Structure 1
Amino acid sequence: MATVLLAPRQADWALGAELMAAGLAGGLSLLAIGRHGRGPATADKRLTGLFDRRDTSIVVMLLFVACGAVLASGRPAGLYLLLPASLVAFVSGVLSAWNSLLPPPDLL
């Protein structure tokens, strides 16, 4: 998303088409690899289990596609759809990193 947004002097329709392509490619790749969440192992991992699911990532990709469609139709307000997509992706990444860096509670 950042790479697409940083290209200088793009028309709204071009930016919209690029965001739709990125969202479709990301969503289809998630469906193709069949990434399934492992589910929370303990009560402390409920939040991580919520964000470590394929459905959550597909929603982020669908927001990219929706943003691109609104931009391609000539309405720059579509960029507002990137805010929730970015927040969910950021929280998911931080929780996944946190979960992978800490050992399971039974090993402590």
Structure 2
Amino acid sequence: MVSIPGGLEPWEDRGDLCKLTLSILQTMPDKPEELIEPINQEESDKVTCVIADGSMGWAIRVAKKMGITSAAFWPASVATLASFLSFRKLTDDGIVNKIG
């Protein structure tokens, strides 16, 4: 198991959710491939599966691109997942107002 940096310097405020989110979205999509490529060039101990948080979809896309099995998991509640998956229908039906 390895950790992938989120793009902020050690002294930067990770409590600033907007800044942290933007940094993650700009930094993270390239990191899984950069991590997996050198490992899989070795003759043993290749990465054969990527398991990623459902909110980190780029890891699943990287696995697919590299021909590696992948799985997504959702560490939050089922109610939260159902809300995210239903958001378009809720806005289309006028139950939730569109933002912006």
**Normalised by the size of structure 2, how large is the TM-score?**
0.30
Structure with bigger helix share is 1
**Normalised by the size of structure 1, how large is the TM-score?**
0.29
Highest relative contact order (Cα 8 Å, sep 6+), 1 or 2? 1
